Amino acid sequence: MAVTTALAALSFGASIFQAIGQKKEGDAEGQTQELNAQLARGDAQITQADIKISQAKRNLERGREQTTLKRFVSTQDALYAKAGVTLSGSPIAVIEETTAEGELDIIINDINARMEQTELQRQADSLEIEALQRETAADRARSTGRTRAGLTLLTSGTKFASNFFEPKDDS
């Protein structure tokens, strides 16, 4: 009986170390998932900054495009005036068409920039979702580690305790 008790005690002691290892394993996995969540959230913030940069860049480009268009139309006006052409009929139609085409180009560039910003926003949103999933996985890993440790201790404790109690025979 003493040998059986000693072996049961050793087995229970080993299960304590196993339980500690399981908890630490869950904590380590949780910590890894938390770190990955922080990285995803950081990437989302960088992507948000990229959106602001893209917007500022587009505002600058739009201003340059508008200035270039105004200069071009002014140059057309000046060349017509220098040539002695009155601004009516065909010359006006050419200037209006030039202006319309330039404004259309600006609108197209605005749309393209907005599409780029929408894609960046989609990426940022996806990274935020990933961060939330990682945080959930971290909680789950920690909980799983604690549960496994608890079950190991419960199972081992039950086996250990069974060495000291004999079933009653109710007959």
Question: Is pLDDT at 20 greater than 90 in this prediction?
Answer: yes
Nearest to 33 by CA among 111, 108, 137: 137
- Of the candidates 149, 148, 139, the one whose C-alpha atom is nearest the C-alpha of residue 31 is 139
Query: Which pLDDT score, from 0 to 100, does residue 54 have?
Result: 96
Average pLDDT (117-145) is 96
List pLDDT tens digits, range 45-104. Answer: 999 999 999 999 999 999 999 999 999 999 988 888 888 877 777 888 888 999 999 999
Q: Given pLDDT bands bounded at 50, 70 and 90, which one contains residue 121?
A: very high
- Of 48, 51, 37, the C-alpha closest to 129 is 37
State residue 76's pLDDT score.
87
Contacts of 160 (CB under 8 A, 6+ apart): 8, 9, 11, 12
For the chain, what are the domain ranges?
2-162
pLDDT for the residue numbered 33: 94
Give the per-residue pLDDT at 162.
81
Query: When comparing pLDDT for 167 and 26, which is higher?
Result: 26
Segment 11-35 mean pLDDT: 92
pLDDT at position 142 is: 94
pLDDT for res 171: 61
Q: Tell me what pLDDT residue 1 has.
A: 63
Alpha helices in the chain (DSSP H): 2-83, 90-162
What mean pLDDT do residues 96-115 have?
A: 95
The pLDDT mean for the chain works out to: 90
